[in-house]
Amino acid sequence: MSASIFQLAIITILLSSPWANAQSSQSSQLSSSTSLSSLPPAPSVSFVSVNPTAVPLSRIGATEPASPTPTLASTPTSGSVPTFLPNAPPLPPLSSIVASKYPKLDTIPPIDSPEVQQWIAEVQASGIQIPSFSPTVAGGCPTNPQAATDPSRCWWTCGGCVRDTDISSCPTKDTWGLTYDDGPAYYTPNLLNYLDEHSLKSTFFVIGSRAASLPALLQSEYMAEHHISVHTWSHAAPLTTLSNEQIIAELGWCKKIIKDVLGVTPNTMRPPYGDIDDRVRAISLAMGLRPIMWTRISPAATFDTGDFSIHAGTISAAQVLLNWQYILGNASTLNTGFIVLEHDLFQQSVEIATGYILPDALARTSPKLTLQPVITCLNQPLGNAYIETNDNTTNPPPVTIRPSSKCSNLSHATFTTKTYAGVGTGHSSGRPTATGATGNNGNTTGGNQSGGASSLQSLPDMVIFVLLSLIAGLAVVF
Ligand SMILES: *[C@@H]1O[C@H](CO)[C@@H](O)[C@H](O)[C@H]1NC(C)=O
Ligand SMILES: *[C@@H]1O[C@H](CO)[C@@H](O)[C@H](O)[C@H]1NC(C)=O
Ligand SMILES: *[C@@H]1O[C@H](CO)[C@@H](O)[C@H](O)[C@H]1NC(C)=O
Ligand SMILES: *[C@@H]1O[C@H](CO)[C@@H](O)[C@H](O)[C@H]1NC(C)=O
Ligand SMILES: *[C@@H]1O[C@H](CO)[C@@H](O)[C@H](O)[C@H]1NC(C)=O
């Protein structure tokens, strides 16, 4: 595939009328969507290149029909040795992964299992002090005014506070720490194929229960030399709303399934929704996991493309491309590189990445961008990303690191981009339901686990969210 003619041309996409082509039946379908037509118009944006095989922008949206789920050109053989990782064990056989032996898909694991009890004991024995403040309640910053303004919590959600132990940028200017969250999922192969064709490597923040459902896909990501990291077992609730024991269960099961499928255990994690405070940090570090966030330079400039919400119809594909332009504009003002939030969960988010954002990034020359997984952008070898292969010399295990007392300024007065209101209407609404895949392509996860779709959440997300938050609020903090 040659994109040279595209790389020389500046392609301007009129974002103000992404569905204006009345000749296309697809377009009229899009314009009849109330959520899309109520979105504000966006100005035009220039692209250095788009993928010549990109799905037209006017098609990418909530009402887009599901395209056939792709397959990978090849999948790894069990017993293959990851020769690119010194001292890594051979790939475990997939027959050893039996989904029914793990907690349920997309559900917070119970805390009374022997595994979780063991991990709780290990956290207690780590010597890391877990702050004693109570979990937040559902609703985010507005419903937790005291916690939101308490600098001693360093709650990222309400002000963007980070600690020295958080990774939130790449050190080298014009270096983009490429990350995709919430897979493995049905359209992940399209992203992997694109990355492979362009010799790109990425970090994947993996949801444990989906890895249990699609273990071969996780092995493919790993054997293609991508960087695998923890993104909790279920992604069912923001971590600050959970009890210490539930956080341990969420992180512990995700570590375990990755180790069972790959033979190695990540030493980094990303909190769902970026929702982290010093209690979640301390538990993560006690479990050997360093947090990786995405770059945030001000309340208005958080490096989130918004790609997750195209599927739900709360943002247009055009707006996501405009966000991408803003991210690049803001990145140009930094002395460092940057990390951007994107997803491989949905057909739409993969289409926008492979059709537009990645081709545009690759074709830029002033400045030229370097796209790397987070571990690589930190100037670390890939082996340092896993507990079993880290030689601990230049990347000491986080369990020996403590959160520092330095905290960035809080700016809660205006910062609202990551409130839980957004979680309820945006992010969470993308959760698969028992009736998923009905015209809006909810076909995202879990096809192979204990009856597939029937095991998926069927209660409305907000009901579960509120219930879990109540439970978390009542739980005793040790
Ligand atoms: C997926 O389904 C296949 C066929 O039913 C089965 O052999 C395999 O064990 C399942 N994988 C998991 C992880 O359950
Ligand atoms: C930074 O991002 C904000 C919105 O997120 C945008 O309004 C602003 O123009 C961007 N800055 C630059 C220099 O592109
Ligand atoms: C690195 O640290 C981890 C965690 O403490 C430990 O399990 C591992 O054996 C260490 N590796 C080496 C090469 O010392
Ligand atoms: C906090 O904000 C004040 C005033 O805006 C500024 O002078 C100070 O340097 C900031 N401190 C940090 C650690 O960013
Ligand atoms: C959902 O994914 C499964 C498994 O790949 C596939 O068999 C099914 O056809 C897909 N459904 C839709 C609507 O894409």
- Greater confidence (264 vs 421) lies with 264
pLDDT digit string (tens) for 467-477? 344 444 333 33
Domains by residue range for the chain, with CATH: 4-59 (no CATH), 94-474 (3.20.20.370)
Measured CA to CA in angstroms, residue 51 lies from 5, 8, 117, 198, 351 at distances of 11, 13, 49, 12, 10
Q: Kind and range of the H or E element at 205?
A: strand 203-206
- The token pair at 110 is 């119970």
Burial group, residue 93, by CB count within 10 angstroms (0-12, 13-18, 19+): exposed
Stronger pLDDT, 14 or 203, i.e. the higher one:
203
227 is catalytic: no
Q: Cα of 218 to ligand 3 centre, how many Å?
A: 24
Cβ atoms of 411 and 160 within 8 Å: the answer is yes
Cα-to-centroid distance, 350 and ligand 1 (Å):
25
Percent of the chain scored above 90 by pLDDT?
Answer: 70
Ligand nearest to the CA of 399: 3
Nearest-Å Rg of the Cα atoms of the chain is: 21
427 among known catalytic residues: no
Helix (H, G, I), strand (E, B) or coil at 182: strand
In this predicted model, what pLDDT tens digit does every residue of 381-395 receive, in sequence order? Answer: 999 999 999 999 999
- Distance, in Å, from the CA atom of 240 to the CA atom of 278, rounded to the nearest integer, reads 9
> Mean pLDDT, to the nearest integer, of 181-199?
97
Q: How far is the CA of 165 from the centre of ligand 3 (A)?
A: 19
What single letter denotes the amino acid at residue 311? Answer: H
* DSSP string across 330-363: HHTT-SS-EE-B-BSSSHHHHHHIIIIIHHHHHH
Per-residue pLDDT at 39: 56
Catalytic: which of 106, 166, 181, 260?
181
**For residue range 86-109, what is the model confidence (pLDDT) as tens digits?**
999 999 999 999 999 999 999 999
d(CA 151, CA 149): 6
As a whole number of angstroms, the distance between CA 122 and CA 135 comes to: 21
Task: Find how far residue 15's CA is from the centre of its chain.
Answer: 26
pLDDT bracket for residue 71 (50, 70, 90) = confident
Our answer on whether the CB atom of 67 is closer than 6 Å to any ligand 5 atom is no
